Structure 1
Amino acid sequence: MLQRYARTHIEQALERQAAIAIIGPRQAGKTTLALEIAKNRPSIYLDLESMADREKLAEPVLYLNQHVDKLVILDEIHRTPALFESLRGIIDEGRRQGKRTGRFLILGSASIDLLRQSGETLAGRIEYIDLGPLSITEISPNEIGKLWLRGGFPDSFLAKKDEDSFLLRQSFIRTYLEREVPMFGPRIPAETLERLWTMLAHNQAGLLNASRLASGLSVSAPTVTSYIDLLVDLLLVRRLPPYHANVGKRLVKAPKTYIRDSGLVHALLGIENNEELLGHPVVGASWEGFIIESLLAVAPPRTRASFYRTARGAEIDLLLEMGDRHGTWAIEIKRSSVPKIERGFHTALDDIQPTKAFLAYSGTERFIKGNTVEAIGVHELVKELGGLSE
């Protein structure tokens, strides 16, 4: 059984709040984790994609009041958005009876409907916890290469062979195009969205140019932006914003885009094995996105993530602003086992003056490189960042 980093945070949240929503893409392991947590307490599981379970909730107050002493797991909550209004009354009544915490564990495959529906009706009664695909902290250090190639969706990562993993990811992509996207957003031709998704894979870690993408798809730039908005809401694409500060320099203003799971990047580009990956032009950008996702998966709550780039070439791959307690970390990401600091990184450090500066690389030795930059293996850096939340 894989040990998920979010488990402790979910169990702690259940001790302080009535409803906890676990948000993550389909097949990231939300249901498996919820059922593992449920083993330690009286519970009931309802899959709202099942007609039988939806019928049980035809009269939700009557049904759920029979299980007031249990943790109720509601999977695929977007299937019954009207349920949120009933949950509000049930939670408020429970509070009056002294049952204030650990009532509901709500699972959703996207942020869109959950945030919109529950933001008003369950304000002050719900806490959100992200559960993405597997990250570096959830595997052994000698499996980092495997995780990078296959991505972090558990079935893909645990497949017996690279070929099986690749086929699973291709099936996942088809499922999203044909089933998930029509459920959550406007009707978009599957072929168009697949082409956009593939174009974003080719442009992994690149600046977003909606007009160029629109030209390739024969649609308008606003239409492309709306399509990307949907992929972001489905937790499949990340838009990393540029750093904004008055540093007296001409800063890049466009965001960078990343397909959040490296395995999906590779499946979209037809990369099946490690040899094909290492020979592909996307290799460096894929590694950068992979490390950024692993870092953001463990970053302290309310961390502001961005990148820094000026018109003259000063650049920082990832800036993490973590408030007065932890300050600002500047991170440069290199796949090489013998890392080299570019002049642009030094220039950017002079501009930003971060609290700490790291050169994350694929080796294991930790050492000072230059006067202010610390070279550190990616596994150790992810572990150190995650330790700030403990």
Structure 2
Amino acid sequence: MIIPRPRIEAALERALERAPVVALIGARQVGKTTLARKLADRAKGTLYLDLERIADRRKLEDAEAFLQAQAGHLTVLDEVQRLPELFAELRGIVDDRRAGGERSMQFLLLGSASLDLIQQVSETLAGRIIYLEMPPIGAEEAAAASIDIDRLWLRGGFPDSLTAVTDEDSYLWRQAFVRSYLERDVPMFAPRMPAAMIGRLWTMLANGQGNTLNSARLGQGLGVSAPMIGRYIDLLVDLMLVRRLQPWSGNLGKRLVKSPKIYVRDSGLVHALLEIGTLNQLLGHPVVGPSWEGFVIETLIEAAGPDVAPLFYRTADGAEIDLVFEQAGKPKVAIEVKRASAPQAERGFFVACDDLEIENRIIVGAGAEDYPARGGAKVRTLLSAVKEIREILKSPFPA
């Protein structure tokens, strides 16, 4: 079963119209290749090269001549971080075509490590490239495929996990996915980092889903230094497996929490790391609340789009907002997340909203109804919250 991804597909098509090079980045197995091949099937003459295949890499031994021969067609280069020396060749080809007044040379780069790829590309393709991040399947896409929210929450948004025949099949897929990252990707992207240690840290982060980062405590638990913990987390963030949610840091004359909160981005991976295979096991596990919080936060960050800053707010006095969206330098939306069918925000949420002068106050629960709440807040289902966030934070530039 292939679940349609209309939003990212439309965004990718727009990007290809606007720039000669587009980089589509995302974790492994998130569906980048499927989407690229779908576009390739529609664009006659598209060339697809998987740079993990030796045969495809050999075609690029004389990259300039080979790629110049594809003029007028889209060229897809999958796992492009395998050949970083290729970026200089792409720059030359793009500039040559521009100098001749042509824009017929287009490249779609697929990569599974964001920072590593962006750092390499930015040195050579600045001004010639658009970046898009492809997330796992989201709530709207799952709903359109008649997949309910709890199933998406339990299994996560990786297509093969979400569409598995049974929960057991999904769980086994995610277990293998975790092993694959530790056995293959960590040694490839960070050969000097011990994969087993990073695996233990990944599990610790899942156990502490949504906690503020305490590198010293994590380092003590693993027997390594706090700076080393930072480097391990950098890698997991780079692989788009972990999110650092930064604190709001404006000047209000209050003592604010300054450490980021750490989330394993995909809820299904949280559950696999903690050996949770069924919804009943999840509902009875201590991580149920933090897991739901991380799932909702990741969903709403994707809904808000790349031009909005996601933050959290917490003071030493206990005023707290789970998720703040800041737009044009101003806090615009406050989100409280509760795993309850009739959720209620605590006093600290409203104090924090008053601190930041936020009028858009949304409480996302696990119920099936939307209704007004006290303090100017609104209780929303996750799907309703996605739609409302998009409306409040809509870009001034039409799609």
TM-score above 0.5, yes or no? yes
CA drift at 1:101: 6.2
* Aligned residue number for residue 332 of structure 2: 328
Deviation sequence 1:196-247 (CA, Å, 0-9, x none) = 1110000000011000000010111111111011111111100101111111
* Alpha-carbon contact 1:320-1:329 (below 8 Å) kept: yes
Whole-angstrom distance in 2 between the partners of 1:299 and 1:102: 32
Whole-angstrom distance in 2 between the partners of 1:259 and 1:63: 41
Q: 2:55 aligns with which of 32, 48, 52?
A: 52
Deviation sequence 1:327-349 (CA, Å, 0-9, x none) = 61111111211111211101111
Whole-angstrom distance in 1 between the partners of 2:51 and 2:274: 34
Q: 1:132 aligns with which of 135, 146, 159?
A: 135
SS at match of 2:18: coil
Whole-angstrom distance in 2 between the partners of 1:204 and 1:133: 18
Confirm or deny that 1:368 pairs with 2:372: yes
CA drift at 1:301: 2.9
Whole-angstrom distance in 2 between the partners of 1:322 and 1:137: 23
Deviation sequence 1:260-285 (CA, Å, 0-9, x none) = 00000000000000010000000000
* Aligned residue number for residue 42 of structure 2: 40
Whole-angstrom distance in 2 between the partners of 1:188 and 1:255: 23
Confirm or deny that 1:94 pairs with 2:62: no
SS at match of 2:69: helix
Counterpart residue identity of residue 18, structure 2: R
SS at match of 2:312: strand
Q: 1:343 aligns with which of 333, 347, 351?
A: 347
Number of matched pairs: 389
* Aligned residue number for residue 18 of structure 1: 20
* Alpha-carbon contact 1:112-1:184 (below 8 Å) kept: no
Whole-angstrom distance in 1 between the partners of 2:136 and 2:224: 32
* Aligned residue number for residue 240 of structure 1: 245
Whole-angstrom distance in 1 between the partners of 2:273 and 2:240: 16
* Aligned residue number for residue 172 of structure 2: 167
Whole-angstrom distance in 1 between the partners of 2:319 and 2:336: 12
Whole-angstrom distance in 1 between the partners of 2:64 and 2:20: 16
Counterpart residue identity of residue 158, structure 2: F
* Aligned residue number for residue 188 of structure 2: 183
CA drift at 1:384: 2.9
SS at match of 2:19: coil
Q: TM-score, normalised by structure 1?
A: 0.97
Distance 1:30 1:386, change over 3 A: farther
Whole-angstrom distance in 2 between the partners of 1:50 and 1:69: 25
Whole-angstrom distance in 1 between the partners of 2:91 and 2:253: 49
Confirm or deny that 1:229 pairs with 2:263: no
CA drift at 1:113: 2.4
Counterpart residue identity of residue 79, structure 1: R
Whole-angstrom distance in 2 between the partners of 1:6 and 1:272: 29
* Aligned residue number for residue 274 of structure 1: 279
Uncovered stretches (5+) of structure 1, i.e. residues with no partner: none
CA drift at 1:102: 6.6
Whole-angstrom distance in 1 between the partners of 2:19 and 2:186: 31
Whole-angstrom distance in 2 between the partners of 1:167 and 1:41: 36
Whole-angstrom distance in 2 between the partners of 1:241 and 1:134: 24
Confirm or deny that 1:73 pairs with 2:103: no
Counterpart residue identity of residue 240, structure 1: L
CA drift at 1:255: 0.6
* Alpha-carbon contact 1:137-1:383 (below 8 Å) kept: no
Uncovered stretches (5+) of structure 2, i.e. residues with no partner: none
* Alpha-carbon contact 1:151-1:263 (below 8 Å) kept: yes
Counterpart residue identity of residue 111, structure 1: S
Counterpart residue identity of residue 113, structure 1: D
Identity within the alignment, %: 52
CA drift at 1:142: 5.1
Counterpart residue identity of residue 243, structure 1: W
Whole-angstrom distance in 2 between the partners of 1:374 and 1:171: 40
